[in-house]
Structure 1
């Protein structure tokens, strides 16, 4: 390997770590801002408000599938980027988002009738304006991601988080009820659309002539199909539960799922954004991509596994302290969902790798498996209420992960054994933490919620740190390596 190649590798490693630092760091700060507002608002609003909002989200998320986001991935993977290609993608985004905005307005009365709740129609009509901002977020984001430039995006995302949080707090205090949950994301996405367009300095005229764009539609079409199947998997719980459960119980389940999916839905996607761009840049070297994938699994599970195990252990005091006594019924749901989420976290790491390496069909097959497994599980589980819905995740998520691994490991350049070795340090350290916290639970049971939570969390963090030093010390070196790479030193 010549010096020039080594220098290039060092620079690329530093660029990736810098991208992760900006993307994940800004996401973490933005989430802290939003959570501060969210948990305050949760204590003001009723579970019924969240149940109503969840009903609208089942429609909103389904139509959002058609917002054209998948087509922007073609801009990231394109060997050569032209102005014509950018204009064509922008035209597709405008057409698709304008169309689904109109479709949502027309479908709103039908959705209200399905859920037997008239206000659902009003909520959906207003939320149709969200789609109109999407083209002005997606296009500049994809162009910046192609260059692994997440610094600009980070600043805009923080601004939009502040706008959303301020709107959420203001509306909740003003007594807007469920409309608070509509206004906050509206303020956030429009702030992000304006800020991203200005910051990225990309505002082109759209082109509706699609000649020569076959590659875009081939890639985007495969991703669209996988997104549709993924949507069936992730939204079937609300669609099934929304017709069988009342708004109160659906609200309990929806907020329990929100808590349990904090890592998977809030912190993993930013990492996957960077991973997709990075895998696309090194797609010709399967050995390198395999090692990179194993390392990403190891480091992500190093944080995710103890979080979910800890959440399962402290579910009751956590819910009581963070959400308030009126949400105590959600605690057993949170505990079960926390058990299932490590499997989902690992499963979603495969998508950016297989698609960036030119195999979107594998993601389609994986999403298809989830679209078959999870709705069937929910149809059975809903008979036992929201707790039964949580059990559906416990049973379905590991099975879905097994199928995804079987499809993807060879393409990525790794193996089930390699992934097992990557996860083992986190499993051992987390196991030690679980034993310590469970031993302290009888003592915490006689305490009030806040001191019990403080005791269990403190013991959990201390025991996990001790176990890492005992059985997983090399991971500390990997994190040190990442910090050095951030400064331009090879990892």
Structure 2
């Protein structure tokens, strides 16, 4: 009985990732198309300015909503008063940081000699109140496993927000269009989620409820802060040392990789957390399930990002147009970092389901420190150091996940190491073959046709490698809903 459950859990996660992936793919396509349009209207300096402003807003948003999402999602007993108290605390924190954004905007404008930053930052900070409401509503969806509603809200909000941003870019609004993306998407998402989960959630303070949420929310806050400070430091170091134009190149690379990375993190964490939560009272069962789910997840995540790294020489020019070559290598390293670091997060998700989020926090702090060291050491190498530093930070987090004591992770370190190494090696082989094909085809047939050839070819090659060297995971993938012709081929 115990052995069957983890296998079924791996199949369920594949199934969940299937429909949730449709939402992620839709948002990624929308962001890619909008980036392709905006990069031809706006300058690299505009992208650099927006990167600085939006990164600061992202750090500010850590104090509003997001820490309570985890605290609400993991509680065994949740009352409406918990939700109302969390929203009251979020709005109080949001009003404070919005007020602080006004003097900070003027300071930013003076530091970078860009007067428009004085207005951009306070307007962008308004997204905090809406994103906080959306995060708290998302916690309710996770508890009820209504991931389809979250997917609908996310995708529809991006259609609305990106459409409005492109429209104001054509109207000549310049960098305001890039700020508008975040603002419009946050507003639309909050409204759509609230409609799905009516009646209206209103803030109502409760000291008792806040005490009950405080420990988990506090640890989640620090972990999120550590994660987002990485981007803040990156952008400010690059902007200060290399200038806003170079920062624009880095921001273009981030815009191509981070939507995929963010979607995968959200989907994998939310779905796995929901499943782990059901078994949180049985440590042995949870550890066994975490081992299975973590291993299966690597087989899905690793090829996605190794493939993305391999196609960046064709993808960046196709999306951004001419003049953005500096972003290619940065994007490749960002994608490789995601391939190495994201699968290990499943271990921290399983610990978080047992109300032990401090290990995710330590992981984020260690990764942040590793990234800083490489970033400063690599300054002479130019923008590529930003990508390498992120790869280093992700590698540190993965190493920490593998090094955790057996009693915490529930499975031996050596088994953890090999369970991550094999899928990473298979994905690396596929990525190397795709990279060679891109280099050979790009000059002959152009970027678009190159991508049309190598993406399905890479996916097919990975399936062949999976069937040859990891047949158990290949069978689970088929059972989770692969096309019928693949299942027939596997049985012959």
TM-score, normalised to structure 2's length? Answer: 0.88
Structure 1 pair 396–50 and aligned structure 2 pair: CA distance change class (3 A) = same
Match of 1:461 among 459, 462, 484: 459
Q: Would you say the 8 A contact 2:374–2:385 is kept in 1?
A: no
> Which runs of 4 or more aligned residues in structure 1 lie more than 6 Å from their structure 2 counterparts after TM superposition?
8-18
Show the counterpart of 2:419.
422
Q: What displacement does 1:206 show?
A: 2.4
Match of 1:64 among 61, 64, 67: 61
Show the counterpart of 1:261.
258
Q: What displacement does 1:356 show?
A: 1.7
Q: Would you say the 8 A contact 2:287–2:350 is kept in 1?
A: no
Structure 1 pair 12–415 and aligned structure 2 pair: CA distance change class (3 A) = closer
Pair 1:250 & 2:228 matched:
no
TM-score, normalised to structure 1's length? Answer: 0.88
Pair 1:31 & 2:50 matched:
no
Pair 1:304 & 2:301 matched:
yes
Show the counterpart of 2:163.
166
Q: Relative to structure 2, which stretch is displaced further, 433-442 or 107-116?
A: 433-442
Match of 1:147 among 144, 160, 168: 144
Structure 1 pair 263–414 and aligned structure 2 pair: CA distance change class (3 A) = farther
Q: What displacement does 1:16 show?
A: 6.6
Pair 1:395 & 2:407 matched:
no
Pair 1:188 & 2:168 matched:
no
Pair 1:449 & 2:446 matched:
yes
Measured in 2, the distance between the counterparts of 1:444 and 1:377 equals 34
Show the counterpart of 2:485.
none
Match of 2:369 among 364, 367, 372: 372
Structure 1 pair 152–435 and aligned structure 2 pair: CA distance change class (3 A) = closer
Residues 76-91 of structure 1: matches in 2 within 5 Å? 76-91=73-88
Q: What displacement does 1:108 show?
A: 1.2
Measured in 1, the distance between the counterparts of 2:428 and 2:205 equals 56
What is the RMSD of the two structures over their aligned residues, measured on CA atoms? 2.9
Show the counterpart of 1:488.
none
SS in 1 for 2:343: helix
Measured in 2, the distance between the counterparts of 1:336 and 1:62 equals 23
Measured in 2, the distance between the counterparts of 1:446 and 1:204 equals 56
Pair 1:277 & 2:274 matched:
yes
Is there any run of 5+ residues in structure 1 with no aligned partner, and where?
485-491
Pair 1:137 & 2:111 matched:
no
Pair 1:208 & 2:208 matched:
no
SS in 2 for 1:349: helix
Q: Would you say the 8 A contact 1:294–1:418 is kept in 2?
A: no
Measured in 1, the distance between the counterparts of 2:436 and 2:77 equals 59
Residues 317-336 of structure 1: matches in 2 within 5 Å? 317-336=314-333
Structure 1 pair 332–98 and aligned structure 2 pair: CA distance change class (3 A) = same
Q: What displacement does 1:414 show?
A: 2.5
Residues 104-143 of structure 1: matches in 2 within 5 Å? 104-143=101-140
Encode CA deviations 1:234-266: one digit per residue, 9 max, x unaligned: 332112112112111111112213323343222
Measured in 2, the distance between the counterparts of 1:408 and 1:241 equals 37
Q: Would you say the 8 A contact 2:463–2:474 is kept in 1?
A: no
Q: What displacement does 1:440 show?
A: 4.3
Pair 1:199 & 2:163 matched:
no
Q: Would you say the 8 A contact 1:261–1:341 is kept in 2?
A: no
Count of aligned positions: 480
Structure 1 pair 113–404 and aligned structure 2 pair: CA distance change class (3 A) = farther
Q: Would you say the 8 A contact 2:370–2:389 is kept in 1?
A: no
Measured in 2, the distance between the counterparts of 1:238 and 1:95 equals 28
Q: Would you say the 8 A contact 1:236–1:374 is kept in 2?
A: no
Q: Would you say the 8 A contact 1:70–1:224 is kept in 2?
A: yes
Q: Relative to structure 2, which stretch is displaced further, 93-102 or 418-427?
A: 418-427
Structure 1 pair 37–477 and aligned structure 2 pair: CA distance change class (3 A) = same
Measured in 2, the distance between the counterparts of 1:445 and 1:191 equals 39
Q: What displacement does 1:442 show?
A: 6.3
Measured in 2, the distance between the counterparts of 1:407 and 1:9 equals 21
Match of 1:52 among 45, 49, 53: 49
Measured in 2, the distance between the counterparts of 1:296 and 1:131 equals 33
Pair 1:224 & 2:225 matched:
no
Is there any run of 5+ residues in structure 2 with no aligned partner, and where?
483-492
Show the counterpart of 1:489.
none
Structure 1 pair 132–168 and aligned structure 2 pair: CA distance change class (3 A) = same
Show the counterpart of 1:487.
none
Measured in 2, the distance between the counterparts of 1:316 and 1:358 equals 43
